[in-house]
A and B are shown apart, each in its own frame.
Chain A
């Protein structure tokens, strides 16, 4: 079995016996070994408390202080540094609550322009490590280092260690790595050892690793699906593993097939670069069937916010907005409209989506609502400056 030094990125033979957990080359104690270390090639890289880390980098005086970024919009925590997290401060927490937990925290309003610039630097280093980078949001991405068939190329683990080292040295932010055989497991792995982590989930151990975990860990299992599974007596992934795929498909439709695969650690979705991304969407199965326009609009606004955040994170914009509705009798309705210019702004997405909703929603009741951004472009030509943007124009606001 090989041992990887996370500081120098060198793989050395892991000899049994005490004292050998240090790197054979640089004597660093930050090493890692795993039976599949040389075979795994898909990683999820997640920057640690990204916005707060950047603020600390730029102001050494607050390096040791609890730092909270947020507050400008609706007064919620956007990012809390690891010191603030020790006090119980979490992302999306109302600011007053965060300050009650950690009254001496330094609160900094977000500077998206700066974070975007830093994210670009991080991404450039990622792309030097492998061309197959799929950004998920401003501070995380999936990387695919290709099949390990090429014996002459260093294994992904070594390339990742060097890459994350460069990000620390050259950009001044830290990131955690999850390495596995697919996106689903890599994403779970990156969360195991934060901050500055490097965790591996091998193909062989996936099933056993997942078994005790709650079903909510599976992407796509939101509160509504969780309740449905719960009603069927399913709470852990292990319970799912024991149900045949045909039964899951019969019970939960197409999603049943994905559930069956993910439960045993199989995820067929490949890492895709931006140019392969056709659309970005978000949808939700409603807690109860809705027909009232204000309630549907509220759901739509939250979904638009998710899509806007993902567009923003990936540095993308969209030219077309798609509204998806599923009626209580399972009829799926999709409506779309093309925008004057590409957008990644919540206000514009919501305005178009609710325009479509207003024309569609009437007496019918819906069980699912979704919004998609299609005709993806890069963000260069997005949201051209508008004469009226600084003024309140009737009907032009993104508010519900």
Chain B
């Protein structure tokens, strides 16, 4: 195998590959990226056995062939080479080495046989649909902050992607929750997704996809089976296993009769919560919301730091109420609201509260109060 590639192109592809490769591996081959030259194109493949990524780019190649080399090391080398440099890579089948030359630098890396490298395959994908990149981005951005990191609740360690119907309108929904907050975002169901199974896309795959979205402007092709999901960008395809579990019946925890409505300027609220929470104890991050007529008083106190209060003008239609929330959760949600006015639908100090963007019904957030 022999090829020449510009440093920038190499760096970009290696960045994608090394991001999938785990830092610590018990199986040596999984630390490697596979390089293959075929039909004048260079392809990169990497996997952690749950997610696989394959990318193919144009390169000047003089001899076809394939090899594998440590992904993180190769990436570090490419990163440190000067901008615009031409990189020559060479591997001869037998000696277990990859030689990389650029300008006056030469590196020799030990490689492992390509036969050891796992096959990355999605298998048959019975459901295929396309999503505009910005829609996929919105499905991810507005839910992934709520993904649980609690491993014992593995079925919450991802985004639940499924189709549903609301007043005869078919929708594609993404939902994530960690039990303290829940985020639900929906878009019209794309063509080809009708009848798709509800699937839980693991957090790592969600984060890898999110990184790749920013590099494309048009559409992402999604393929889906009962056990795997694939995302095809221009030159990159990412395949991930799905979480084998049952996502809880989340509809049951979305309150339907919260009648106390609080409206507020989203930016003002966000800034005030951010300021007041400076005082909240590191452990609880609690802020208290005291709502009385047109005044919302945010307050926080901690034994170590002292106290803080701030008033925000609001519109409110019910009896005075005091309720506590984790300030970080409030900020996570406020950050995802793009409109000027946000709305809270409350029941009482101990019940789930709904937060949404008044000008955008596609997203809904549920937040569990804290004891304060």
Point out residues on A near B: beta carbons under 8 Å: 337, 339-340, 351-352, 355, 377, 380-381, 384-389, 391, 393-396
Contacts and interface: CB of A to CB of B under 8 A. Distances in A.
Nearest to B178: A340
Contacts of A337: 151
Interface-central residue, A355, A380, A393, by most chain B CB under 10 Å: A393
A385 B368 contact: yes
B52 interface: no
B12 interface: no
A60 B122 CA distance: 72
Given A377-B283, A394-B155, A385 B149 contact: no
A394 B152 CA distance: 11
Contact of B370 (A339, A384, A387, A388): A384
21 contacts: A340-B149, A340-B150, A351-B152, A355-B151, A355-B152, A380-B284, A384-B368, A384-B371, A385-B180, A385-B368, A385-B369, A387-B181, A388-B177, A388-B248, A389-B179, A393-B248, A394-B246, A395-B152, A395-B153, A395-B155, A395-B245
B191 interface: no
Interface-central residue, A337, A339, A352, A394, by most chain B CB under 10 Å: A394
Interface string B231-260: 000000000000001101100110000000
Nearest to B286: A381
Contacts of A340: 148-150, 178
Mostly, the A contact residues are loop
A387 B370 CA distance: 11
Nearest to A391: B252
Q: What are the 10 A-B residue pairs with the smallest beta carbon separation, nearest first?
A: A386-B179, A387-B253, A381-B284, A355-B152, A393-B248, A351-B152, A340-B150, A381-B283, A385-B368, A394-B246
Given A393-B248, A394-B245, A387 B177 contact: yes
B344 interface: no
B153 A385 contact: no
A386 B368 CA distance: 7
B350 interface: yes
Contacts of A387: 177, 179-182, 253, 352, 366, 368
Nearest to A378: B283
A394 B248 contact: yes
A358 to B, nearest CB: 10
Contacts of A386: 179-180, 368
A174 B182 CA distance: 48
A251 to B, nearest CB: 41
A386 B181 CA distance: 9
A24 to B, nearest CB: 47
A388 B156 CA distance: 12
A352 B153 CA distance: 10
A394 B352 CA distance: 21
A391 B153 contact: no
A234 B268 CA distance: 75
A391 B249 contact: yes
Contacts of B151: 337, 355
A352 B154 CA distance: 12
Nearest to A355: B152
Interface-central residue, A337, A381, A387, by most chain B CB under 10 Å: A387
Contacts of A380: 284
B1 to A, nearest CB: 40
A391 B248 contact: yes
Contacts of B369: 385
A224 B138 CA distance: 60
A381 B282 CA distance: 11
Contact of A388 (B154, B245, B253, B326): B253
A388 B180 CA distance: 9
A396 B153 CA distance: 7
Contacts of B370: 384-385
A384 B178 CA distance: 12
A349 to B, nearest CB: 11
Contacts of A393: 153, 248
B58 to A, nearest CB: 45
A99 B153 CA distance: 41
Contacts of B368: 384-387
A339 B153 CA distance: 11
Nearest to B283: A381
A346 to B, nearest CB: 14
B179 A388 contact: yes
Contacts of B246: 394
Contacts of B284: 380-381
Nearest to B246: A394
Contacts of A377: 283
A147 B146 CA distance: 54
B182 A385 contact: no
B140 to A, nearest CB: 21
B324 to A, nearest CB: 10
Nearest to B285: A381
A387 B151 CA distance: 17
Given A386-B368, A387-B368, A391-B248, 10 more contacts: A355-B152, A377-B283, A384-B370, A385-B369, A387-B177, A387-B180, A387-B352, A388-B253, A391-B252, A395-B152
A352 B350 contact: no
A7 to B, nearest CB: 40
B360 to A, nearest CB: 23
A393 B154 CA distance: 12
Contacts of B283: 377, 381
Interface in B252-286: 252-253, 283-284
Contacts of B182: 387
Contacts of A394: 155, 245-246, 248
Contacts of B150: 339-340
Contacts of B155: 394-395
A355 B152 CA distance: 7
Contacts of A351: 152
A297 to B, nearest CB: 14
Nearest to A393: B248
Interface string B269-313: 000000000000001100000000000000000000000000000
B138 to A, nearest CB: 23
A381 B371 CA distance: 9
Interface-central residue, B151, B152, B245, B368, by most chain A CB under 10 Å: B152
B286 to A, nearest CB: 8
Contact of B180 (A339, A352, A384, A396): A384
Nearest to A389: B179
B372 to A, nearest CB: 10
A376 to B, nearest CB: 13
Contacts of A396: 153
Interface-central residue, B150, B181, B182, B245, by most chain A CB under 10 Å: B150
A386 B150 CA distance: 13
B176 to A, nearest CB: 12
B238 to A, nearest CB: 28
Interface string B79-122: 00000000000000000000000000000000000000000000
B353 to A, nearest CB: 11
